[in-house]
Amino acid sequence: MADLDSEALRLGRFRRRPGNGTWSARFVLPPGPDGEAALDHIEDLAVCMGRAGGLDADEAVFVGVALREAVVNAFRHGHSPQGDPTRIGLHLTPDCLVISVRDRGPGFDPDRVPDPCSGENVERGSGRGIYYMRCFTDRVSFVFPRNGGSVVRLAKKTRS
């Protein structure tokens, strides 16, 4: 993981457990331009972690795109009136990269998100984020904590 983005390293909290081969990183992104600017570095870090875990270059980039879509959705739809930050976790195990994105917004029903592939939605300029997350990762899940907000978890196997 020598090619980790130095700015991402500065932005987050990292933990390495050499005994079991895991890496973890956590980030807290404020709403607004500073959080959006940090996203580029965190996406780069997710790509590096995917490559370090065994993904080929394209798979790693696609995982980065899935991360970006989850965070952009949190920025656009999951903001709270109090301006709570978006929290991102990256966790690389010997066989999987898991990404979590938590916001403090009102939540949503994933089953009610329109299908971007259906005829009436194909021309829309938005609405493809969850679709891309599902295309580019092996598992997408949603958790809605009692105290509000949403947690999106993305998982991609890194070793066959």
Tell whether the model's pLDDT for residue 3 goes beyond 60: no
Identify any residues that bridge with 155 across adjacent strands, giving them in sequence order: 98, 139
Q: What is the pTM of this model?
A: 0.86
Mean pLDDT of 38-56: 91
**Sheet strands side by side (includes 13-17):** 13-17, 22-29, 86-92, 96-103, 150-157, 139-143
> Both tokens of residue 84?
């709570």
Tell whether the model's pLDDT for residue 7 goes beyond 60: no
Residue 147's pLDDT is what? 85
Q: What is the pLDDT of residues 137-151, one digit of tens each?
A: 999 999 999 888 999
Mean pLDDT of 130-136: 93
Tell whether the model's pLDDT for residue 159 goes beyond 70: yes
All structural domains of the chain with their residue ranges: 6-157
Residue 117's pLDDT is what? 67
Identify any residues that bridge with 151 across adjacent strands, giving them in sequence order: 102, 143
Residue 66's pLDDT is what? 97
Residue 106's pLDDT is what? 84
Q: What integer best gives the mean pLDDT of the chain?
A: 85
How many other β-carbons are positioned within 10 Å of the β-carbon of residue 148? Answer: 14
Tell whether the model's pLDDT for residue 114 goes beyond 70: no
Q: Does CATH place domain 6-157 in 3.30.565.10?
A: yes
